[in-house]
Amino acid sequence: MTRQTRRRVIAGNWKMYKTQAEARALVSALAPLVAQAAHCDVVVAPPFTAIVAAVEAARGSSIAVSGQDLFWEKEGAFTGEVSAAMLVDAGCRYVIIGHSERRQFFGEIDDSVHKKTKAALVAGLIPIVCVGETLQERESGATEAVLDRQFRGGLAGLTPGEFSRILVAYEPVWAIGTGRVATPEQAAAAHGFLRELAASVFSAELASALRILYGGSVKPDNIAGLMAQEGLDGALVGGASLDAKSFAAIVNCPTRK
Binding region for ligand 13P (CB under 6 A)? 13, 99, 171, 176-177, 215-218, 236-240
Nearer to ligand 13P, 83 or 217 (CB): 217
Q: Which one of the listed residues 101, 108, 171, 191 is annotated catalytic?
A: 171
Question: What residue number has its CB nearest to ligand 13P?
Answer: 238
Q: Please say if 171 is a catalytic residue.
A: yes
Residue 2 CB, nearest distance to ligand 13P (Å)?
30
Contacts 24+ apart (CB under 8 A), 31-38: 31/57, 31/58, 31/60, 31/61, 31/63, 33/244, 33/245, 33/248, 33/251, 33/252, 34/61, 34/62, 34/63, 34/248, 34/251, 34/252, 35/61, 35/62, 36/252, 37/62, 37/251, 37/252
Nearer to ligand 13P, 17 or 203 (CB): 17
Nearer to ligand 13P, 132 or 231 (CB): 132
207 residue type, one letter: A
CB atoms within 10 A of CB 15: 19
Residue 74 CB, nearest distance to ligand 13P (Å)?
27
Q: Please say if 99 is a catalytic residue.
A: yes
Tell me how far apart the alpha carbons of residues 143 and 244 are, in angstroms, rounded to a whole number: 33
Q: Which one of the listed residues 99, 101, 133, 137 is annotated catalytic?
A: 99
Residue 77 CB, nearest distance to ligand 13P (Å)?
30
Instruction: Just list the catalytic residues.
Output: 99, 171
